[in-house]
Structure formats: structure tokens, C-alpha cells
Structure 1
Amino acid sequence: MCGHEAEQHSRRTFLNVATAALTVGAAAIVLPGAADASPARQRVPLDKISIQLYSLRSLLQNDPEGTLSALADIGYRKVELAGTYGRSATEFRAILDKNHLKASSTHVGIDGDLNQTIADAKILGNRSVVVPYANFGTIAEWEAFAGRMNTAAVTFRKAGLKLGYHNHDHEFHPIDGVLPYDVLTSKTNKRDVHLEIDLFWAVNGGADPVELFRRNYPRVTQYHVKDRTADGQMTDPGTGVINFPRIFAASCHTIGEYIVEHDQPTDPLNTAKVGFEYLRTVRF
């Protein structure tokens, strides 16, 4: 499986694997019913499966205790936060602990009080913090944002936290012929700023996640695993056409978290169940 032994692969070995994967086909989606001819040997380790709590925000607003308990019953042991739903960091951490859940990551802004952000992150037990969204109309503004990311990343690093960036699809739409995502990745410090690739939004923007991983190796350490129907609608992991086995096979060596997400689920707990079962059972 894709665990400790796989992580010992050299950069040369990784590039060979990724290049081979790319020759299979550049598309990040697979037609429904298409068979994978390669033998299934690897899996997502259970301790790397997480869920972005934004997917359950409608439930967490009213019942954080019951919602987190339900996630634990499904089998989750990690979550990624997007706020604490009216509770203090200390109060929310107590609910997490009661349900044996770890909030290894959280979505934060970098333009506010970083000292408070750091204090809360430490209380919650976060190992990384991730900027969930940025959007600018000019390349100059993207470059300035990258500079602010670098500055914030140093502050977080000194506090023992890693800073990352989560994409949507607009980062892959060119401005004056330049992709904002290329600006962000080229202008931020590779050591201090990691990448959390949202697979739905990357594919929706026309990007190939395997190529993104390959070009930014080894900075991609988290995936948001959300699926896409053939007509571009968001759907639960494993129920759409994104070729997750291809993506995972080419990149599992450095991915620390596979985070289930759906931005607008009709049944949040069902999405959590479907996503967990898919990641638990998928082979690549």
C-alpha cells in the first residue's frame, strides 16, 4: 500500500511513475464503466482519510456534538475545520477529543490577527493551516498575495504550523496569458507553502491533477476529494467521472491527507459515508 515504504521512493522513481501515468492519457476523468487494466495493489491508509467540515456546516451549526459523533461512528479519525460554529477553540477541541477525532488541518485567513489564529490552531491540535480562497483581477495582485503568503508562512512555521493554499477553478483561467496558479506556485516559497489540491475545482478549471502534482512535487500534501459528473456537477466521491485511481497512483507517495468534501450536499452525513467508504475501498 501507499505507506511508509512508498514514501521512501526517490524523486527519480516518482518522476518515472508520474510520467508513465501521464502517457496513459492526459484527461483527469474516466468514462463510466471504463476498466482499469492495471492490478490493484495500493490503498488509501485509514489514518489519511479526513473530511472537510464545511460539507456538514448545516448540521454543525445546530448540533456539533451529534454531528462529530456521527462522523466518528462512520469511521473518521481526522477532520479539517472551517470554523468552530459558535464554539471557542477550547470548547470545540473538547468535542473532538470526546469523539476521538483529530483536527489535523483548518482553513484560515492570513490578513487578520495571526497570533490569534496560531493560538486557536494550537488549541485545536492543527498541524497545518490552509488559505481556502483568494481571487484577484490582475497578475500584480496575485504576485502581491503570494508575497503575503510567504510572510505569513514564516510566522506559521516559527509556531510549528505549515501553511497551504486551496484552489478553486479560477486560478487556472489565464489573466493576460498567465495562470494565477502558476504565479502562486512560482512566487511562494516551496519550503514554507504547501498545496492542497481540490480535485473537482482543478478538473473543472481544465487542469490535470497528475500534471499539477508532478510539476509541484513534493509540495502537494493534501487532496480535497470531491467528484464531478460528466456535465460538470459536483457529486459525492466515487459517484462521478474523475479518475481518482489514476491520480492517487501517481501521487500517493507524498499525500498526507485525502479529505472528503462536497460544497452543497443534499444529505451531508450520506456524503460523509459515501466518501469514507470510497476512500476506504478504492484500489489503485
Structure 2
Amino acid sequence: MSEGGFSRRAALRGAAGAALGLGAAAAFSGTAAAGPGTRGRWPGRMRVPKERIAVQLYTLRSLLEQDTPGTLEALADMGYRNVELAGTYGRSAEEFRSLLDRNHLRAVSSHIGFDGADVDQLIADTKVLGARYADCAWAKFDTIAEWIAFAERLDRAGRAFRRAGIRYGYHNHAHEFQPIDGVRPFDVLARNTGWWHIHFEFDLYWLVVAGVDPVREFWRQPGRVRQFHVKDRAPDGGFADLGTGTIDFGSLFRDTWLGGVRHYIVEHDQPSDPLRTARVGHQYLTDLRF
């Protein structure tokens, strides 16, 4: 037994084991429209490289709070080599990095807010953890003036991270694509931050919920979308494990393939069985051909 009495290898595998074959089980509804990607070329020949697959640890937060070492070990057993952080669960950056190293896991990215924080300390901790990417996970304001002011602060933070060798970005939800006085907050962020300082981490689920075409939005920011949160949408509009929902990830990946995405990050905001969700997600991205 590991810390907190939570079983590590065998027991952590148990409930998730039956999910291995579900990754590509459902038919997709095809939310991605054609774009300047590679539609029609080499059908079924492309795949997401394993070294670009990660999981957002927020998906497993309930388990990480009980047993951080055991949960990380379970992810490694599934085949994950990369994770995106969302906190360190009461441990210092050095302590959490030690747990990652012990399980041969690499932090490729981290969700960290900068507003009101000590940016220099955030950068120092991110460097200890080894992440080369970091993202602001959330912002919401009522006026365009507030969004402009936020974008200016975001850009300053991005410049500081960039000087330290870390790429800083912004992770969307749906509200950034809903106009305020005729202006979309996302467009404010894009126009008022530097391409070189701020990238975008597209949460594909929230783009679909917002009613916009993820491929079209991707190519409106060529080369600037560096990360995908690969999160599926259930027929009722809720969250779903990858491959069991309605988003046509094969078409979406094919049509954005030449755009420079570095990380394909499995995520589910409210999983009933986090380990099963993580396992299904890894299997789905590993098996997917497009």
C-alpha cells in the first residue's frame, strides 16, 4: 500500500482494465470542417507521436489528493510519459519533480495563473519541474476594457517566461468566443499579445461548446496554437471519455497537422473513474490513425 492507503499498481489497474478497447468504439459526428491542413492525403497513415501525448493531472485530482505517488505510478504503467500539471498537491516543486522522475514522467506543461502572483517564483518553480510550456488556465471579465488590460498583463508575463526559456500561453473555455459589445474576448487576447510571447492552448471541447469551428480558429492563428486539450463531448453536451463522444478528432488532427501542435493532452473535467478515463484516452490517441 502507498501513502494514504491507496493501492498502487494492481488495484489502480483493476477498475480501468476493462476500458482498453473503448478508445475508438463510438462513431463521431464530425464537428471539424475542412481547412488548410491535409484532408484527403494519406488517409489513415498519420498518428499522434507517443512523445506528444500527455494527460492533464487535473483529470485525476481526486486520486492525486489521496495518493500522489500511487496515481503517478499508475499513469506510468498505462504508458504515459508526459503530464501537464495543475498544482503539486501540497508538495514543493522539488518534491513533485522527484516523484515524476521516479516514475519516468516528464512535465511538459503546467497550468499556473500569473495575476497577483510572484512571476519570478512561478518561473523558478516551473524550471525545477522541468516544464518548457506553461499556461494561464482561466480568465473572465465583463467588459472589453478589462480584457484589454488583462491581455497587456498576460503579455508582460509571457515576456518574462520567454526570457527564462519557457513558453507561456492561454487556455480557453467557451466564453472567450462569445462577443461582448460585438467583440470576442479571444480576438482581444490575440491582438493585444505578441505572437512570440503568448501561444494558445486550444481546449477542443470548449471550442465546440462555443459553437465555433476548431479548425477555422486554428488557422486564424497560424503557428500560434501549440497545444491541444483533447477532451470529448457527450451527445448530451457533457464531458465524455475520448472516442466515446461526438468530436471527430481524426478530421480535426488531419486538418491542423501542419500547424505545429506540440502536445495532445488528454483531459476530462468530471470523470466518474479518473483512471479509466486516463487509460481510455491514452489508448485512443495511441491507436488513432487519420
User: TM-score if structure 2 supplies the norm length?
Assistant: 0.85
Show CA shifts across 1:127-164 (max 9, x none). 01100000000011111111001111111111111100
Contact 2:232 2:239 (C-alpha < 8 Å) held by counterparts: yes
**Cα distance between partner residues in 2 of 1:251 and 1:20:** 5
Q: In angstroms, what is the RMSD of aligned CA positions?
A: 1.6
Aligned to 1:6: none
Q: Which amino acid aligns with 1:265?
A: P
**Cα distance between partner residues in 2 of 1:44 and 1:196:** 17
Aligned to 1:272: 278
Unaligned runs of 5+ in 2: 1-33
Aligned to 1:18: 35
| Aligned: 1:237 with 2:232 | no
**Cα distance between partner residues in 2 of 1:178 and 1:38:** 39
**Cα distance between partner residues in 2 of 1:250 and 1:147:** 31
Q: Which amino acid aligns with 2:272?
A: T
**Cα distance between partner residues in 1 of 2:272 and 2:46:** 31
Between 251-260 and 263-272, the greater mean CA deviation after superposition: 251-260
**Cα distance between partner residues in 2 of 1:233 and 1:18:** 26
- In the TM superposition, residue 96 of structure 1 has moved relative to its aligned partner by 0.1
Change (3 A) 1:283 1:122: same
**Cα distance between partner residues in 2 of 1:38 and 1:152:** 41
Aligned to 1:257: 263
**Cα distance between partner residues in 2 of 1:82 and 1:173:** 26
User: TM-score if structure 1 supplies the norm length?
Assistant: 0.87
**Cα distance between partner residues in 2 of 1:234 and 1:164:** 24
SS in 2 for 1:18: coil
Aligned to 1:223: 228
**Cα distance between partner residues in 2 of 1:223 and 1:114:** 24
**Cα distance between partner residues in 2 of 1:78 and 1:169:** 26
Matches within 5 A, 1:64-103: 64-103=68-107
- In the TM superposition, residue 20 of structure 1 has moved relative to its aligned partner by 6.6
Aligned to 1:48: 52
**Cα distance between partner residues in 2 of 1:235 and 1:37:** 29
Aligned to 1:4: none
Unaligned runs of 5+ in 1: 1-16, 25-35
Contact 2:199 2:226 (C-alpha < 8 Å) held by counterparts: yes
SS in 2 for 1:148: helix
- In the TM superposition, residue 228 of structure 1 has moved relative to its aligned partner by 0.4
Change (3 A) 1:61 1:176: same
Q: Which amino acid aligns with 1:148?
A: R
Aligned to 2:216: 211
Q: Which amino acid aligns with 1:94?
A: S
**Cα distance between partner residues in 1 of 2:280 and 2:140:** 31
- In the TM superposition, residue 252 of structure 1 has moved relative to its aligned partner by 2.4
- The total of aligned residue pairs comes to 255
**Cα distance between partner residues in 2 of 1:39 and 1:246:** 10
- In the TM superposition, residue 39 of structure 1 has moved relative to its aligned partner by 2.2
Aligned to 2:166: 161
**Cα distance between partner residues in 2 of 1:128 and 1:37:** 31
- In the TM superposition, residue 38 of structure 1 has moved relative to its aligned partner by 7.2
Q: Which amino acid aligns with 2:36?
A: T
Aligned to 2:11: none
SS in 1 for 2:208: helix
- In the TM superposition, residue 186 of structure 1 has moved relative to its aligned partner by 1.3
**Cα distance between partner residues in 2 of 1:106 and 1:173:** 26
Identity within the alignment, % = 55
- In the TM superposition, residue 19 of structure 1 has moved relative to its aligned partner by 3.2
**Cα distance between partner residues in 1 of 2:217 and 2:154:** 20
- In the TM superposition, residue 37 of structure 1 has moved relative to its aligned partner by 11
Q: Which amino acid aligns with 1:267?
A: D
Contact 2:37 2:254 (C-alpha < 8 Å) held by counterparts: no
**Cα distance between partner residues in 1 of 2:67 and 2:181:** 47
Which of the residues 124, 130, 133 maps onto 2:129? 124
